[in-house]
Amino acid sequence: MDDLAQDWSRLTLSNREGPSCCLTEEDSLSDFCIAAKFLTKRALNIDVIAKIFTPLWRAQNGFEIQNLGDHKMQFSFDNKANVDRILLSEPWSFDKDLVAMQRYEKKISMQELKFDRTSFWVQLHGIPPHYMTMDAAEKISAVIGEVSWPPDFKEADGSNFLRVRVSINLSLPLCRGRLMFLKNEKQTWISFRYERLPNLCYWCGRVTHDDKDCQMWIESEGTLLPDLRQFGPSIRAPTFISLRKNAITVLGFYSSKKTGTSSNSMVCDSSGQASVKSTMNPPVLVTSNHHRSSKLGNRLDTEISEKLSNACPGVTPINVPLHELIPINSSVINGINSHSIGPDIGVINGIDSQSIGPNKGVINGLNS
């Protein structure tokens, strides 16, 4: 049957057998598919595959898996967004072995698909600070494969390294780095480190098999010495986390004073890193002695209010005893918890009064 399907061109076709049937998009399936090949020699269990990938992919309406044989699977989804998200999150692995994936529109048979590419995030280490640019990184990493940049540069900026997303040809060994010539004719080595790297052959540098299945190892009958390996664990990169802020912008000292209305205050991002910005917040009094009585708290708030009026004639303090407003054991303003600083300390806009003294409040960075 397969021979007939391949050799139909040499046959004399009848009217019924001729090209009188035309298929349109309306006749096609409405699902969205991913074709995958599991680069392992182990037998595959479709139930185990479903159990592993279900919590990783979190498809809202689930998906279907079809075993096509020869370690190939077809994953079907009900919307295109799931397919896009999964492919953008490559590489995927199963039992530490790579799973090569591609979008499958079913316009050709599964046998015609070539699972020869996978995308990796690659970190470029050793770039001189003067050349930490997107143009330089793209030029350096061109030898790895097809380079694509993230829409947000924060995803590429690792502070002391840059990272790019590269579609790699799986038939080639991984590229360990690149020797660069700088303007002053000085040579420097830029090392490549791959994130979420699956099993890798340290003999030939390919991710399609491990050391024991490498042709070099088999031909040597197991006599190769570990010192002859051209690749090692240093080619692996830790998972990149872009939560931490590595740099901040500080306003000029006289910027706020020129306007006469704004004040500099500290704010914190989600990772707890402080940065400076200009705010227009009204003054707020903070007292955070957890053991204060109501009477003592009122007296201290009044004292602070009087001092503030004398120090800042243009500022009207809010004379509210905050010990009644802030719950015991939780004094938090602008994301900063006074527990991390200590008791008897007030916090506003990220500034603590520890350097000022106990039982004192802080207004937008001003000592009361």
- Residue 263 pLDDT more than 90? no
In CATH, the architecture of 28-112 is 2-Layer Sandwich (3.30)
Check: CB of residue 348 under 8 Å from CB of residue 287: no
User: Can you give the residue ranges of every domain in the chain?
Assistant: 28-112, 117-237, 255-367
Segment 12-21 mean pLDDT: 74
Check: CB of residue 244 under 8 Å from CB of residue 271: yes
pTM for the structure as a whole: 0.61
Q: With the CA atoms of 329, 331, 336 and 337 taken in that order, what torsion angle do they form, in degrees rounded to the nearest 10?
A: -10
Longest dimension (CA), the chain: 106
What would the pLDDT profile of 179-222 be if each residue is shown by its tens digit?
988 877 788 999 999 999 999 999 999 999 988 889 888 888 88
pLDDT at 185: 73
Other CB atoms within a 10 A radius of the CB of residue 209 amount to 20
pLDDT at 50: 95
> 195 to each of 57, 178, 254, 336, how far by Cα in Å?
19, 18, 45, 33
- Residue 333 pLDDT more than 80? no
Check: CB of residue 210 under 8 Å from CB of residue 108: no
**β 332-333/336-337 pair status:** antiparallel
Listed residue (11, 25, 196, 198) closest to 95, CA to CA: 198
- Residue 1 pLDDT more than 70? no
- Please state the φ and ψ torsions of residue 3, each to the nearest 5 degrees: -65, -40
- Residue 330 pLDDT more than 70? no
**β 187-195/236-237 pair status:** parallel
Listed residue (362, 330, 367, 331) closest to 349, CA to CA: 362
Most confident of 184-198, 259-273, 328-342: 184-198
Average pLDDT, whole number, for the chain? 75
What would the pLDDT profile of 230-241 be if each residue is shown by its tens digit?
999 999 998 887
